[in-house]
Amino acid sequence: MRHIQLALALAILASPALAQSSRSAGEALVKAQCAPCHAIARTGASPNPKALPLREIARKYKPEDLEEAFAEGIMVGHQSADMPAFEFEPPQIDALTGYLRSLKR
């Protein structure tokens, strides 16, 4: 019983660190891949006026609902040569959805 309590306590203590690590990885990813066109912070305008700020995307869609699109290649709802094709790996998807969730808070 004591081992279970210790494991539970360690998991609870590690959770904020894991969440912060995921958010940091997500932030690095969006800075590299999204920031040239999209506003990536809670405030500010997008460098490309046609690109929604990520905070608006996070409000419009549940980040979890975007996971498949991130894995298979982002398809935008408009015809634009401006939006490059991206396909993300599972760790990147976790980091990206974690970052989008952080924008909703």
Give the count of beta carbons closer than 10 Å to the beta carbon of residue 55: 19
Looking at the domain assignment, is residue 44 inside a domain?
A: yes
Looking at the domain assignment, is residue 4 inside a domain?
A: no
Return the residue matching tokens 């904020």. Answer: 16
Looking at the domain assignment, is residue 8 inside a domain?
A: no
Q: Give the model's pLDDT for residue 57.
A: 92
Confidence of residue 8 (pLDDT cuts 50, 70, 90): very low
Q: Give the model's pLDDT for residue 53.
A: 95
Looking at the domain assignment, is residue 82 inside a domain?
A: yes
Q: Give the model's pLDDT for residue 87.
A: 80
Number of domains in the chain: 1
Integer CA distances (angstroms), 44 to 2, 28, 76, 82, in order = 50, 18, 22, 20
Tell me, what CATH number does 37's domain have? 1.10.760
What pLDDT, in 10s, does the model give residues 19-71?
456 678 999 999 998 999 999 999 999 999 989 999 999 999 998 888 888 88
Evaluate if residue 80 carries a pLDDT over 70: no
Looking at the domain assignment, is residue 27 inside a domain?
A: yes
Are 93 and 67 within 8 A, CB to CB?
yes
Looking at the domain assignment, is residue 53 inside a domain?
A: yes
Of 32 and 104, the one with more pLDDT: 32
Q: Give the model's pLDDT for residue 83.
A: 75
Enclosing domain of residue 82: 22-104
User: Which among 35, 37, 25 has a CA at the least distance from the CA of 98?
Assistant: 25
User: Which among 38, 36, 26 has a CA at the least distance from the CA of 76?
Assistant: 38
Distance, CA of 1 to CA of 10 (rounded, Å): 14
Are 76 and 83 within 8 A, CB to CB?
yes
Looking at the domain assignment, is residue 78 inside a domain?
A: yes
Looking at the domain assignment, is residue 69 inside a domain?
A: yes
Does pTM surpass 0.75?
no
